Structure 1
């Protein structure tokens, strides 16, 4: 496949744009995963703290 210099330039620019878009999508996906992970972690910690508090109150009665 013989490309002219102009065709090569256009192809490279298109590849660069596609790569940039893929990186943006990947970062957005990673951020969504991290945010969800942090939310679930906070919920779990709150649940465990509530259970611990309940157990402590039951044991002191």
Structure 2
């Protein structure tokens, strides 16, 4: 037991435990990468869908009238 401000050294881990942690981290990393890839793919598909909808709306609305600039006051 340590008191406030004291440092308790960590126990050295065994070779088997180190290998198990390494394997576990690798599996977790692969899982995270696949989840990220799925999220990225879903985002890209949604962006393309929204872009197509926007272009269809703009085509149906016709040409956009140009904004008239305000006359500058002197």
- Shared fold per TM-score greater than 0.5: yes
If you compute each CA radius of gyration, which structure gives the higher value, 1 or 2?
2
Where do 5+ consecutive residues of structure 1 fail to align? Answer: 54-61
Q: Higher helix fraction: Structure 1 or Structure 2?
A: 1
Query: Which runs of at least 4 in structure 1 moved beyond 4 Å after TM superposition?
Result: none
Report the aligned-residue RMSD.
1.5
Larger RCO: 1 or 2 (CA < 8 Å, sep 6+) = 2
TM-score w.r.t. the length of structure 1 is: 0.82
TM-score w.r.t. the length of structure 2 is: 0.68
User: What is the total number of aligned residue pairs between the two structures?
Assistant: 54
